[in-house]
A and B are shown apart, each in its own frame.
Chain A
């Protein structure tokens, strides 16, 4: 990237995603923050300081940090062995299991909250654990939602790792544990750190889970912002907390950048998947336990969806073609499913194209330190959407994108765009570590043989990254299908997504509405699993071969 022209090219490439994120994220969020910092027309940053002195804010900060740390640790602990089993071994039904592990990630928190709590209340099947309303229940729910992120991100990173180094170590007498500690783990670390930082942000901004599971005894920064914005209209307080969120993310990103700064390139091979043997039993047992944990609330949902006023049956599913008991919905529930799919297609396409571009750019390793710093900042900017409150973003859309030329408040395009902003960091975090792990000498070799940049991309980057790209596609689609926070602030009555429909159903009285909410959740889960299966099947033939 020596020539001025090439540098201009990179700058232009960077300008596209930057322009999008500036318009659809930084500007709306900035607008909300400005409302908080300008009190009665004058800039009053001093007003913000007392907010941090409120005891409830300090408690919320502390709870945010420790619950997110615990949720992240739990997700990594549960997820990494599963990632290995589902991405390094070959056995029948593996693709189905991969798809199933993705399901919790998209389920609406309102429904999972209810399903979880029906298991945990003292009259429920797990009532003897006395977990209902405890912090442990919140952390368990956080883990439930985020295990799939670890399985998918780490799995797609792990899948192509060359096993020969480990085999060599084993041949030299290393025990399996030593091989894992000294060979596999160091190679895998960038993938794990990447996944963990995403999960931490998800946990730190968890909203529905904390409200529903915590029974209001616990608050994190996100629920505080929600209350201050939607109930108390204390914009100064909300702005202060949003700034706090950004500060927490910045620290986190600095730490994670340090962790993957000096990681060596990794050699990759084509699929060398092993058949499982007896020595893999512990890992399989672990995977089975994790799956039971992930499926328990889903089974609870299925059971509840089959329970109707006249006994067991499919009545709730048939009712999805209607607007519910006493017109609970403005459109039939199935219209929500169609909307969700259309919106998810748009959101996934946008997130994937922008995210791949960003991943490509942040995976470059410029020689000059200043340029590296620029890349680092660029990388961080695209992680922000995960760490900033959906409430702030949603309200920001309302107050900033309201006049021509960008009067988007009532536009149906706003929802896929907002969802793409949320999915973008996941795409980057799935694809970038893989691109980064490519030995730059491979690209140099290709270029010296006469390949242009596009040819290098196709011949070197793509064969290595296609798996991660597939994983990212699935992710982006799933994020969009399940997104509720920002969507609920934007969704219009004539185009609600399925999670919005489910929320409307569950908030209304009537046994059938409750049953329909459960049935719609099961449909959402099934649709997600199906999409994941299809994505897994999209083996782009020659690309995987060498």
Chain B
């Protein structure tokens, strides 16, 4: 559900000002409150509401997708009638943390993460064995995204 219209002015200002980063201070919420000219209790209540709405998933560190261990995007071309069965097999691996169905001949797209390249290769190999379908690994070679924040386009 879209909660944009239900957000208060303070909630919008919090999103606009802090989706890109918080001060790393012992009292981040008090600092935000001072910057927005409200009370710390207001900030904490607004953040709680944003989180309850699901508008923010959390307030905290964003770990870089590829930062810890080995990870890769991978795709499979799965016959339509086997999609649920294959998705269940792929999802059963703890190493798989994202899995999407997409409209394409390659219709199953997942991200797998492991402690090492060898472990990662083992996971992909096991998925191929269990499904009898080739896995196409698409590891990131270079990251070009410049994080300027997301323009939330309130109007």
> Do A and B come from the same complex?
no
